[in-house]
Amino acid sequence: MDVREKIVVVTGGANGIGRALCLRFTREGARKVVVADLNESLAREVAAEIDGIAIKTDVGQEADLQQLVEHVTSSLGPIDLFCSNAGIILNGGPETLDADWQRIWNVNVMSHVYAARAVLPGMQARGQGYLLQTASAAGLLTQIGSAPYSVTKHAAVGFAEWLSITYASAGIKVSCVCPQGVRTDMLDLAEGGIADHLRETALDPAEVADAVIAGLASETFLILPHPQVAEFFRHKADDYERWLRGMRRLQTKFGANP
């Protein structure tokens, strides 16, 4: 896909990776970029920078995503590319409160389900459309220090994979972007030791946007802004036990004691 002249929606577009995507899609000639975010004032700032539109959206609420899609479709036209990018992190294991598990499940997983539910009927009717989901390398590997993030990002990858398989014959394309560390506010919220480790190879959000543009151009399902993630993923598939031993060493070095 070439984003020129396309109508694009980016959730979590007010900050970090989402903001970089909004700026880059605009530079590439998108017809209109919609910045959908919980943080309305920041979303307005980004929209003002790119002559886009800011829409306050909580991606964990289905009604918000339905309204977002209806509003964009009726005011601008069909959505060509929907980037379901908003996500959150919280640290912890099984002791994490149910309410927090539910919150991160809604934002990191159900947001993609709600987005798909809202945009797929129109895309199917037109026989075209593109869904881009931001998951994480943690969805292919794991996130030291955070079970809720690891689990929800695995689920996000699983859902993207399923959509890609199921809707290809309807002309609908799906990509899933799985970065490792990216220099955004989120990286500061990851558990201390592992966050410092991830910072060593962290990318700028603009570099993730570069990888997304290339991945959309080639219509690649798995977009890996850090190429080494492909290697780690291969190691995991080749020898799961060995990969787990390596990850346990990382836990000992960078993780907190449970």
Ligand X SMILES: NC(=O)c1ccc[n+]([C@@H]2O[C@H](COP(=O)([O-])OP(=O)(O)OC[C@H]3O[C@@H](n4cnc5c(N)ncnc54)[C@H](O)[C@@H]3O)[C@@H](O)[C@H]2O)c1
Footprint of ligand X (CB under 6 A): 11-12, 14-18, 37-39, 57-60, 85-88, 107, 134, 136, 179, 181-182, 184-187
CA distance 22 to 205: 11
Give me the least distance between CB of 237 and ligand X, in Å please: 20
Give the chain's length. 258
CA distance 37 to 42: 8
**Nearest CA to 20 among 157, 182, 160?**
182
- Of the two residues 56 and 124, which places its CB atom closer to ligand X in the complex? 56
Give me the least distance between CB of 166 and ligand X, in Å please: 22
Give me the least distance between CB of 126 and ligand X, in Å please: 26
What separation in angstroms does the CA of 152 have from each of 21, 58, 88, 126, 234?
A: 22, 17, 10, 31, 21
Amino acid, res. 198: L
- Of the two residues 124 and 193, which places its CB atom closer to ligand X in the complex? 193
- Of the two residues 12 and 148, which places its CB atom closer to ligand X in the complex? 12
Give me the least distance between CB of 108 and ligand X, in Å please: 7
- Of the two residues 86 and 212, which places its CB atom closer to ligand X in the complex? 86
- Of the two residues 170 and 202, which places its CB atom closer to ligand X in the complex? 202
Give me the least distance between CB of 9 and ligand X, in Å please: 12
Task: Quote the strand ranges of the chain, DSSP E.
Answer: 7-11, 32-37, 53-56, 81-84, 129-134, 172-177, 222-223
Strand 53-56, strand 129-134: pairing? unpaired
